[in-house]
Structure 1
């Protein structure tokens, strides 16, 4: 692929610590992972390993019909920022949204955008970031 092509990959819940070197060797620009149910605990290994690329930890569980509050998602983003530098942090749901209906999907995504906006405002746009 062309160098300017951004490669994303997704991994569901797993014990990543044993395979972090292999994940890094994939050389994907961004990895998205399911982390909301683990309360971002799955990110710890990425921080300890010093994963070199960008990470989008899931901020809401798409397997639940519950529409999360923007504050809940913001709290997860703040936890993620303790492990992943803000300039490498993306915001996204845990996984695809095919199990959810349109009304709950739209409401959850609107709240996710609100959480990302609040995170940017809190950071004072001190740096360019994908959050």
Structure 2
């Protein structure tokens, strides 16, 4: 004897049995998990950064908040970046040229950090 709600539940769960859908579900679960760990503004990686800012550098809560606001600024302007790359292609490419340019800028920034003195105040 099949109850209508049981039949509906079986039909709703059926798409999850497909291998492709399970693969996508696993992918999104892994991405969600990794973002929760490495997100510098709210994830697990935030804990040592907060300790560094508070204990080692002696920043106030307002200064720490400003620091994390600046870090999150890139995600805030992401839609603007998308529009910019869509409307103004560089070298004939909409995304690739911007990705290469920003990757080079990021690499240069990380390399520049190697030449700063060991005091963090010069980085902030």
Q: Same fold (TM over 0.5)?
A: no
Q: Tell me which protein shows more helix as a share of its residues.
A: 2
When Rg is computed on C-alpha atoms for both structures, the one with the higher figure is: 2
| TM value normalised by structure 2 | 0.30
Higher RCO structure, 1 or 2 (CA under 8 Å, sep 6+)? 1
| TM value normalised by structure 1 | 0.28
Q: Tell me which protein shows more strand as a share of its residues.
A: 1
